[in-house]
Structure 1
Amino acid sequence: MSQSTCTINKCKRISSALCHCCNQDICLLHLKEHYDKIILQLNPLTDEINTIDNRLITIDIKELIIEYCKQLEQWQLQQIIINKIDKQKNEINLIKKEIYQFNENLNTIEHTSFKINIQPLLINDNLIEIEEKSDLHSILSLPFKTIDFSEIKSLIIATNDQYLLIHQNLYLYLIDYDFKIIKKLPWHLERIKDICWSSTFHRFILTTENYGICFVYENTISLYNANCFKQEKFHSCTCSNTSLFLTVDDYGSSIMEYHLLPLIELIKQWKSPYTCTKDEYMDSIRYNNEKFSLIIQKFPEKILKIELRSIKTLDRLWSIQLDMDLKPYQYGKIKETYHYNPRPYNATLFRDNILAILTESGINFHKL
């Protein structure tokens, strides 16, 4: 086996070691010298490594992350602004293009000539109609239709969107919009105090002298003696979409509100003096557009009051007082009066433009 010689400075000695760093054969004499030389090369690297390590120790990673996040957000914001600017530039260019096109069209119009043939305007005098202002005299002076009845039993009439209902002799009559009697129902329950229409039940509701509440529609008449009705005698009635309102037949009249569905039940009661005083009697109640109209008689002064009340609070919104000759007593003012003949007992709207007036001899119909 051959032996290699030392490679340092052309030394002739037999090598004793192999430097793994530089892959050189070295004798014992030059081994330390070679080692010292390598150490001298490593020391600067060690110093640099220590310097880098110290720098790394001083770096705050959290702050660095926060700073880079801020830079990233700023970049994103800048990018959004750039995108908006680009979009606005595109919109401006589009507007410029439309303005340019508009100017081109305008120039074309300005240099275009038109030939206009004008014909004389012919006015047909029959197409112009001046409607005279209606007053009570023009409305009530002459009915356009009359239905004669004798022996009117109840001074009440009522309507719905199809029929007019009246009580005469021993029958209830349903009259349609053609003023024809389309149904005649037998009636044996004495005088009817009031009638109102319930769109919820699709029935007429009647208050009677001795038999409580009745429902009537076309072929049916039914008594409704629910427990909630048995404790009171009622006089006047009216309905909203959800409730039935009844006045108690007594001085200092109360107003009872009954919810209609799913079952008829009492939900509210207004009593004297909120309704009327103890010497007053509520003769009529009507509902429309979240308001009550009330007719109240006062005894013994023989004064009649007509009032408009809020349905929620029963607060008085408007009032007029009359004596029994229908002269203003106080508060309100009568704008116009008309002496109707024969004597009227009751009135109601039939459809939207017809006033039906019940008299001692029948029903008169007037166009509004």
Structure 2
Amino acid sequence: MSRSLCHCCQQNLCLQHFNEYNKLSISHLNRFNNETNILDDRLKTLNILKIIGNSRRKLEQWREDCYTKIDLFFEQKCQELDRLANEKVHQQREELNRIQIKLTELNNAQKTTHQDIDLLISKMSQIRSSIMDLEETCFKITTHPLILDDTFIDIKNTNDHEVNLSSLSHTYKAIHRPEGGFQSLACDGQHLLIHQHPNLCLFDRDANIITQTLWSYGEIRDMCWSVTLGQFIVLGANSIFCINENTMSIKEVDTIREQNWISCTCSETVLFVATNECASSIMEYILFPVIEFVRERKHPLVCKKDEFIVGVIYNNANLALMVMNMFKKSIHMELRNAKTLERIWLFQPDIVCTQKITFRCCSLTCDHPSRQKFSKTRLNAKSFSTVSG
């Protein structure tokens, strides 16, 4: 016979079952108490430094990159100051050399005139005065404070294992590309380098051209930015060039022997370049103090004999490779350790390459490289924020 109504489950229970039900509920409460104690202990022992460790390293890397840029700018200004001072000294030295030559001629001739003596006195007086002025020379240095904007670093709470493409901004402008332009592009965090036939163009964050220079060195296979050099690296079909973003000057790297290149990327210390051939190799070059060959990573370590690398990108001590199979016309992506080339994972999308399309990959903020392909006629410009992990 039922004695009472349980208000929780709306069941009529006899006294015995009610007591049993009550004991069961209390046991649930005890279990919850135990679990909350366990969770509380986990919170107490939580290592905050471990949680923020990777993010902290990214902030430190940003700081180091800024230090590098400041040091490079400082060295440029020091060289400019040295050049100005040396020009003044050189000018007086040339004038003094001319007087010494005149004295030698007069000594050899063993005759002179009052006019020669007066001229020498005048010249010596001028040089003496100029050297005194030079010794007291000072250069006016005008500096401006480095203004930091809080938007330089954006910190958001995200799950490192999620790739939320919906968080990307909407397309706000399209950069129309004329026929004859090469497809590669590179970003230094502030500017975008694109080939707009016949020029190499540097775009700002609003997709406006801020400077450009004529490109007359043939096909461009790939581009990347080197923080260490503070320059863009442009990969030609057989040559490699450094582009100064301030002057847009182009300098061919003469320490690299000609190869048939396809793709390039940079770490803080190494330039990685993939060869455009079946059973591709990855060539490694040290960046500083001069770009020099280190080693070649060959088949079968980097790919199979019927495969070739079509894209390579460095991020966070790893290399992401886009690899095409010659006969199957299939594309796959793999992540490898940059030092050992040990494979971390391989992703085989359902893609068959039936057209001549350039495949590349880039790194998103969640540390997952993402595939992308570029149209030959136009580039949809999203925000130019850095996407390094």
Question: Which amino acid is the alignment partner of residue 178 of structure 2?
Answer: S
For residue 375 of structure 2, the aligned residue among 359, 363, 367 is 359
Q: CA deviation at 1:324?
A: 3.3
| CA displacement, residues 70-122 of structure 1 (integer Å, 9 cap, x when unaligned) | xxxxxxxxxxxxxxxxxxxxxxxxxxxxxxxxxxxxxxxxxxxxxxxxxxxxx
Question: Which amino acid is the alignment partner of residue 209 of structure 1?
Answer: A
Q: Does structure 1 residue 265 correspond to structure 2 residue 295? A: no
For residue 264 of structure 2, the aligned residue among 230, 233, 237 is 237
Aligned length: 216
- Give the equivalent residue in structure 2 for 1:204: 232
For residue 340 of structure 2, the aligned residue among 301, 313, 330 is 313
- Aligned pairs for 1:95-134 (under 5 A) are none
For residue 155 of structure 1, the aligned residue among 183, 199, 209 is 183
| CA displacement, residues 8-62 of structure 1 (integer Å, 9 cap, x when unaligned) | xxxxxxxxxxxxxxxxxxxxxxxxxxxxxxxxxxxxxxxxxxxxxxxxxxxxxxx
Contact 2:329 2:352 in 1 (8 A): no
Q: CA deviation at 1:277?
A: 1.1
- Give the equivalent residue in structure 1 for 2:249: 221
- Larger proportion of helix: 2
Kindly tell me: are residues 345 and 278 of structure 1, through their superposed partners in 2, closer, same or farther at Cα, counting changes over 3 Å? closer
| Partner Cα distance (2:358, 2:270) in 1 | 30
Question: Which amino acid is the alignment partner of residue 378 of structure 2?
Answer: G
| Partner Cα distance (1:179, 1:351) in 2 | 22
Q: CA deviation at 1:258?
A: 0.9
SS at match of 2:289: coil
Contact 1:357 1:363 in 2 (8 A): no
Kindly tell me: are residues 361 and 248 of structure 1, through their superposed partners in 2, closer, same or farther at Cα, counting changes over 3 Å? closer
Q: Does structure 1 residue 287 correspond to structure 2 residue 314? A: yes
Question: Which amino acid is the alignment partner of residue 220 of structure 2?
Answer: I
Kindly tell me: are residues 289 and 348 of structure 1, through their superposed partners in 2, closer, same or farther at Cα, counting changes over 3 Å? closer
- Give the equivalent residue in structure 1 for 2:78: none
| Partner Cα distance (1:277, 1:349) in 2 | 25
- Give the equivalent residue in structure 2 for 1:174: 202
Kindly tell me: are residues 290 and 262 of structure 1, through their superposed partners in 2, closer, same or farther at Cα, counting changes over 3 Å? same
Q: CA deviation at 1:259?
A: 1.0
Contact 1:257 1:267 in 2 (8 A): yes
| Partner Cα distance (2:335, 2:360) in 1 | 19
- Give the equivalent residue in structure 1 for 2:281: 254
Q: CA deviation at 1:291?
A: 0.2
Kindly tell me: are residues 204 and 296 of structure 1, through their superposed partners in 2, closer, same or farther at Cα, counting changes over 3 Å? same
Q: CA deviation at 1:166?
A: 0.5
Contact 1:302 1:323 in 2 (8 A): no
- Aligned pairs for 1:45-56 (under 5 A) are none
| Structure whose CA Rg is larger | 1
Q: Which runs of 5+ in 1 are unaligned?
A: 1-130, 327-342
Contact 1:346 1:359 in 2 (8 A): no
SS at match of 1:322: coil
| CA displacement, residues 272-324 of structure 1 (integer Å, 9 cap, x when unaligned) | 00000111110011000000000000011111110000012111101112343
Kindly tell me: are residues 351 and 148 of structure 1, through their superposed partners in 2, closer, same or farther at Cα, counting changes over 3 Å? farther
SS at match of 1:153: coil
Kindly tell me: are residues 299 and 208 of structure 1, through their superposed partners in 2, closer, same or farther at Cα, counting changes over 3 Å? same
Kindly tell me: are residues 299 and 215 of structure 1, through their superposed partners in 2, closer, same or farther at Cα, counting changes over 3 Å? same
Structure 1, 186-195 or 152-161: larger mean CA deviation: 152-161
- Aligned pairs for 1:67-146 (under 5 A) are 136=165, 139=168, 143-146=171-174
- Larger proportion of strand: 1
Question: Which amino acid is the alignment partner of residue 176 of structure 1?
Answer: D
Contact 1:155 1:346 in 2 (8 A): no
Q: CA deviation at 1:196?
A: 0.6
| Partner Cα distance (1:248, 1:295) in 2 | 13
| Partner Cα distance (1:189, 1:147) in 2 | 23
| Partner Cα distance (2:275, 2:359) in 1 | 21
Q: Which runs of 5+ in 2 are unaligned?
A: 1-157
Q: CA deviation at 1:172?
A: 0.7
For residue 219 of structure 2, the aligned residue among 191, 194, 214 is 191
Kindly tell me: are residues 349 and 363 of structure 1, through their superposed partners in 2, closer, same or farther at Cα, counting changes over 3 Å? farther
- Give the equivalent residue in structure 1 for 2:68: none
**Normalization by structure 2: what TM-score?**
0.50
Question: Which amino acid is the alignment partner of residue 382 of structure 2?
Answer: H
Kindly tell me: are residues 294 and 134 of structure 1, through their superposed partners in 2, closer, same or farther at Cα, counting changes over 3 Å? closer
Contact 2:232 2:244 in 1 (8 A): yes
| Partner Cα distance (2:348, 2:207) in 1 | 36
Structure 1, 257-266 or 300-309: larger mean CA deviation: 257-266
**Normalization by structure 1: what TM-score?**
0.52
